[in-house]
């Protein structure tokens, strides 16, 4: 069966202005990008968010019970591949954590250009940022701050003039990147990107690359998509079998309206009002399933650090089985099996015995990868978080194509893609 050409995977970030305070948060506009890429949105000057307040704004760290998880491990010895727009390894929050990677695009913006490595650096910070400044008390801290980042450039930023050329000439970069990462020591592969356009369809080469990575022992995590307000279009690579697909929720545990609801959702994670690092050395606030994917990749890294012999299938089931605040019935398309809980996963992992590697598989002829969609139901309300110590729960940004940003100091108006 012939398919129309699919849109190339793209960064899932859309940035714009925002002011502080609860009223402003409720009123902040949101713009969604149909194919996990948002159109350019003006970013106006925002109130200063000085470095010494950045840590206090990382509500996701409390929501994910990182203090408890870090009693066991902070991810030392684990490598997380970030397949994205590149990663700025010289960023103070990532210095010493970024390995030599691979550029599968080979052209476009370079280091120092504004349209370089913004999305990838943000994702890397969510996963393995270690903070900066005296005692590393400033800046962004990731979920697995002692893990290593393996950057693989497979897409270009929306603001890169060469992006159109890359989409037409580097359509196989994602499949190549997944295989390259699996062959170069990746324990976890983060895919905060995807195609959730109306024409999106499974690409055999990408599916085969995912199965190859799973067979090599790499956990594969992807954003569920940001088409929740545009028809809930299926997103790839999230829908490939074996992938841990991550939906986004906000700080109250409510399904984020932009987050795609589909049968493949495994778990949910913070995806709204997430603080992220940028190559310009400022910090921004964003939203999208991209960020949610990065948080879960960090959680998977913690599990792999403490229990390196568990298979990708075991890690996926472990994160699903230990998720908090499960939807009624145990699972739904909006939040999967619930909010990911790395501390609970680490505790439960100690009771597992490693299994043999067995990559997932599913024929393309099937309508669904899995059991199919949920029956039609009313929109989800608040999840009712039951862990007050968490200080609220959140959904992350850069996991899809919708992100809100705030500068660390007043700046002139700019445009992002």
Q: What is the pLDDT of residues 142-191, one digit of tens each?
A: 999 999 999 999 999 999 999 999 999 999 999 999 999 999 999 999 99
User: Does 119 participate in catalysis according to the annotation?
Assistant: yes
**Structural domain includes residue 361:** no
Residue 374, in any domain of the structure: no
Number of domains present in the structure of the chain: 1
The closest of 282, 273, 275 to 248, measured between CA atoms, is 273
Residue 36 falls inside a structural domain = yes
pTM: 0.80
Task: Look at 101 and 392; give whichever has higher pLDDT.
Answer: 101
| Residue 270 resides in a domain | yes
pLDDT for res 198: 84
Of 84, 88, 273, 333, which one is the catalytic site residue? 84
The CATH number for 324's domain is 3.40.50.200
Mean pLDDT of 203-223: 97
- The answer to the question of residue 383 being in a domain is no
Residue 116 lies in a domain: yes
Q: Is 183 a catalytic residue?
A: no
Range of the domain at 220: 10-17+31-352
Query: Choosing from 290, 293, 297, 408, which is the catalytic residue?
Result: 290
**Is residue 75 in a domain?**
yes
Please check whether residue 71 lies inside any domain of the structure: yes
For residue 343, is the peptide bond before it cis, meaning its omega torsion is within 30 degrees of 0? no
The pLDDT value recorded for residue 23 is: 31
Instruction: Examine the residue annotation and report whether 290 is marked as an active-site residue of this protein.
Output: yes
Q: Which of 65, 91, 119, 130 is catalytic?
A: 119
């Amino acid at each position: 069966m012939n398919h129309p050409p699919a849109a190339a995977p793209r960064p899932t970030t859309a940035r714009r202005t925002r002011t502080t305070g609860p009223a402003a948060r409720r009123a902040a506009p949101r713009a969604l990008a149909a194919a996990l890429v948002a159109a350019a949105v003006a970013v106006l000057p925002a109130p200063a968010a000085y470095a010494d307040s950045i840590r206090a704004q990382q509500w996701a760290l409390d929501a994910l019970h990182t203090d408890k998880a870090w009693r066991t491990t902070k991810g030392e010895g684990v490598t997380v591949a970030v397949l994205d727009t590149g990663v700025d390894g010289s960023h103070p929050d990532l210095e010493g954590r970024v390995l030599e990677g691979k550029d599968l695009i080979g052209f476009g913006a370079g280091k120092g250009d504004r349209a370089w490595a913004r999305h990838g650096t943000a994702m890397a910070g969510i996963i393995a940022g270690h903070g900066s400044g005296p005692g590393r008390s400033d800046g962004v801290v990731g979920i697995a701050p002692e893990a290593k980042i393996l950057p693989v450039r497979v897409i270009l930023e929306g603001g890169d003039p060469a992006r159109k050329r890359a989409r037409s000439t580097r359509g196989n970069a994602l499949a190549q990147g997944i295989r390259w990462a699996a062959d170069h020591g990746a324990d976890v592969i983060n895919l905060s990107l995807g195609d959730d356009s109306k024409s999106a369809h499974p690409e055999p080469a990408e599916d085969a690359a995912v199965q190859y990575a799973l067979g090599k022992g790499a956990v594969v995590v992807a954003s569920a998509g940001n088409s929740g307000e545009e028809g809930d279009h299926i997103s790839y690579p999230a829908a490939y079998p074996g992938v841990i697909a991550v939906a986004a929720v906000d700080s109250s545990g409510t399904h984020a309206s932009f987050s795609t609801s589909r049968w493949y959702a495994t778990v949910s994670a913070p995806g709204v009002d997430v603080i992220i690092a940028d190559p310009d050395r400022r910090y921004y606030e964003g939203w999208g399933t991209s960020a949610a994917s990065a948080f879960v990749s960090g959680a998977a890294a913690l599990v792999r650090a403490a229990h390196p012999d568990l298979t990708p299938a075991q890690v996926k089931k472990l994160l699903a089985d230990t998720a908090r605040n499960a939807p009624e019935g145990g699972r739904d398309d909006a939040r999967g099996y619930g909010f990911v809980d790395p501390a609970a996963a680490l505790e439960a992992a100690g009771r597992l015995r490693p299994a043999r590697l067995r990559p997932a598989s599913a024929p393309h002829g099937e309508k669904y990868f899995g059991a199919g969609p949920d029956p039609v139901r009313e929109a989800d309300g608040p999840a009712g978080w039951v862990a007050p110590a968490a200080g609220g729960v959140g959904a992350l940004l850069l996991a899809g194509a919708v992100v809100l940003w705030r500068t660390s100091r007043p700046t002139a108006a700019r445009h992002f893609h």
